[in-house]
Amino acid sequence: MVGTQVKHVDERGLDAAVAAGTALVDFWAPWCGPCRMMEPVLDELAEELGGAAAVVKVNVDEAPSLAARFRIAAIPLLVVLKDGREVRRLVGLQPKRALLSAVREAL
């Protein structure tokens, strides 16, 4: 189960969730095994970041316009945004240290 610090957003909520500051956005789908494996990693990351950066999840099946906007060809896709602009993109299952490093570079 996703922790309380990980925010699920839809097509209407993403821009507001990432407009200011640093955010890590996980584009995922419930049928994707590696995506499901990322859930506890993202929970730990959100807890470790303690609000310094937002951790946001977008279900690509429920947000096809966002999938198109971010040109998603494979999931999980993890995108680091700074003030709403993409600064880093990681594809596939990632270790927490790689995600933490990518987010900290953007802080």
63 given a catalytic annotation: no
- In this structure, is the dihedral angle defined by the CA atoms of residues 50, 23, 78 and 81, taken in order, positive or negative? negative
- The one catalytic residue in 2, 29, 32, 90 is 32
Annotated catalytic residue, options 23, 25, 35, 49: 35
Alpha helices (H) along 1-107: 14-18, 33-49, 64-69, 96-106
70 is catalytic: no
The residues carrying an active-site annotation are 32, 35
